Amino acid sequence: MSQLSTRSKPLALLAAAVIGIAACSSSSPAASGGGGASQAPGGTLAAPSFGQIGGSVSILAVWSGGDDPKSEEYAFKQVLKPFTDMTGVTINYTSTRDINAAITAGIQSGNLPDVAGLPGPGKMIELANAGNLKPLDGLFDANAYRSDTPGASALQVNGKQYAEFFKGSIKGLIWYDPKVYTGGDPTSWDDLNTKATAALGSLSGTKEWCVGLQSGAGSDGWPGTDWIEDILIRQSGADVYDKWVNGTQKWTSTEVKNAWLEFGKALTASHGDSNLIISTNFGAAGDPLFTTPPGCLFHHQASFITSFFAKDNPTTVAGTDYKFFLMPDMNPAFSGAVTGGGDLLGMFNDTPQAKALMQYLITPQAQAIWPSIPASGALSGSKSVPLTAYPDDLTKTAAQDLANAKIFRFDGSDAMPAAMSAAFLNGILDFTKDQTKLDSILASLDTVQASAYGG
């Protein structure tokens, strides 16, 4: 079976499944919770019960920030704390922004972590087929897990579960300061630009957008890939999007090129020049929303950005200093289109400690912890985590927007083969530096596409 055919089915499954995740979560707002220890209606997994195990488990993931209470690493460690308290297992955690390179190096050296975050479903399938990942089916009732967390249905290879859907996010959110932008939710992309022009007329030096592409070695540029994905699915629909992700829609096609051109308009209307855009870390890219005068009116980013707002701007308050609306429709034929992402975890070494950790991470208790942290922006994929677990109305709204999506697709670059995804990142950076080179950039991406998907 070709790489293309092994990847297309999981992508389609996940697209449908995540709608089910959010829909089931939003249907039980009266469920008790917030702490996550009790099971919400619709959930199928029992609360965790572990004895003392001892020993240690190594974990590699992208979440960084150390012990800063507003960081992603701190939030992840809060998820892990009940596990360490119950089992006595020591956590050896390492953070890296280039998770793909770190895993590749670990395979080559034979020194892989016990548990690791995975770059996306495409890479997960490659690792499972190569025999690097350990199947999880024997650790828990896999059918019950997939019923509780429908997104996990897509994380199977040859009928075996190889990864867990740890947490999710909805992408294509447009953030703004409601004290600065008062034009209301736009009804279309054209309406957004019209409202922006009106709002900017009373501001001095403020640009329409803030964009920041820096993330770290191997991942610089990914906020730009999110832009392309959100524009493409809204302009040209899910069929074109799927063909593009699966390697059968040329990068030089009119549909894909038009998405890049629209992104180029946003770059031109952004705070700072191309050097500033490329060198600004994605977590700080929205900070000019809160300056006086504001550096920008809007910031395009996923639901998790609130954790970075809180870290860099500790006095800001959700709903008072920042709000969002969903990126509006561009083509009425594809109204309600949404993209999203998910953090996946897999097991490379099936030690007793690693197996216990993987059992714990899918439980209602573990799944509710990160989403319940104020300003984290995290969404759970589990039906056992009700809307009442979310700490503010903004996060509840994000979960509902995900539930109400008429068309949903997983982050495209995460689902592409590693070589294609890497070339996409480089293309974003090259385009930001010089938009006149778009044709040659897209032609180069076509060349990579021809070989990246295999036979």
**260 Cβ neighbours under 8 A, 6+ residues apart:** 228, 431, 438, 442
- Residue 34 CB-density burial (10 A; 0-12 exposed, 13-18 middle, 19+ buried): middle
Instruction: Report the CATH number that the domain containing residue 273 is assigned in CATH.
Output: 3.40.190.10
- Single pTM value for the model: 0.75
User: In whole angstroms, what is the distance from residue 190 CA to residue 141 CA?
Assistant: 49
User: In whole angstroms, what is the distance from residue 72 CA to residue 76 CA?
Assistant: 6
Residue with tokens 């980013």: 301
For the chain, what is the domain count?
2
Range of 392's domain?
Answer: 3-170+339-410
Q: Are residues 282 and 361 in the same domain?
A: no
| HSE value, Cβ hemisphere, 13 Å, CA-based, for 436 | 0
What pLDDT is stored for residue 42 in this prediction? 42
Question: Would you give the DSSP letter of residue 222?
Answer: H
What pLDDT is stored for residue 47 in this prediction? 58
**194 Cβ neighbours under 8 A, 6+ residues apart:** 186
Q: Are residues 221 and 159 in the same domain?
A: no
Q: Are residues 380 and 419 in the same domain?
A: no
Angstrom distances, CA of residue 377 to CA of 35, 168, 207 = 16, 9, 25
Number of residues assigned to the chain: 455
Reduced to 3 DSSP states, what percent helix, strand and coil does the chain have, rounded to the nearest 5?
Answer: 50, 15, 35
What pLDDT is stored for residue 23 in this prediction? 37
Helix (H, G, I), strand (E, B), or coil: what is residue 136? Answer: coil
The enclosing H or E element of 175 equals strand 173-176
Nearest Cα neighbor of 60 from 343, 372, 285, 411 is: 343
- Residue 207 CB-density burial (10 A; 0-12 exposed, 13-18 middle, 19+ buried): buried
Give every residue of the chain whose pLDDT is below 70, as ranges.
Answer: 1-48, 403, 455
Tokens coding 19: 């709608």
User: In whole angstroms, what is the distance from residue 380 CA to residue 367 CA?
Assistant: 6
Q: Are residues 395 and 271 in the same domain?
A: no
Q: Are residues 302 and 384 in the same domain?
A: no
Q: Are residues 16 and 152 in the same domain?
A: yes
HEC sequence for 181-198: CCCCCCCCHHHHHHHHHH
Angstrom distances, CA of residue 154 to CA of 139, 360, 368 = 18, 20, 21
Tokens coding 72: 């992603």
Q: Are residues 153 and 269 in the same domain?
A: no
What pLDDT is stored for residue 37 in this prediction? 30
The residues facing 231 across adjacent strands are: none
User: In whole angstroms, what is the distance from residue 24 CA to residue 21 CA?
Assistant: 6
Q: Are residues 202 and 229 in the same domain?
A: yes
Q: Are residues 114 and 151 in the same domain?
A: yes
What pLDDT is stored for residue 46 in this prediction? 60
Q: Are residues 402 and 446 in the same domain?
A: no
User: In whole angstroms, what is the distance from residue 426 CA to residue 432 CA?
Assistant: 10
Question: Residue 427 — left, alpha, or beta (φ > 0 → left; ψ -120 to 50 → alpha)?
Answer: alpha
Helix (H, G, I), strand (E, B), or coil: what is residue 323? Answer: strand
Paired sense of beta strands 337-347 and 164-170, if any: antiparallel
What pLDDT is stored for residue 247 in this prediction? 97
What pLDDT is stored for residue 438 in this prediction? 98
Do 274 and 437 meet the contact criterion of CB atoms below 8 Å apart? Answer: no
**363 CB neighbour count, 10 Å cutoff:** 26
Q: Are residues 391 and 433 in the same domain?
A: no
Q: Are residues 185 and 37 in the same domain?
A: no
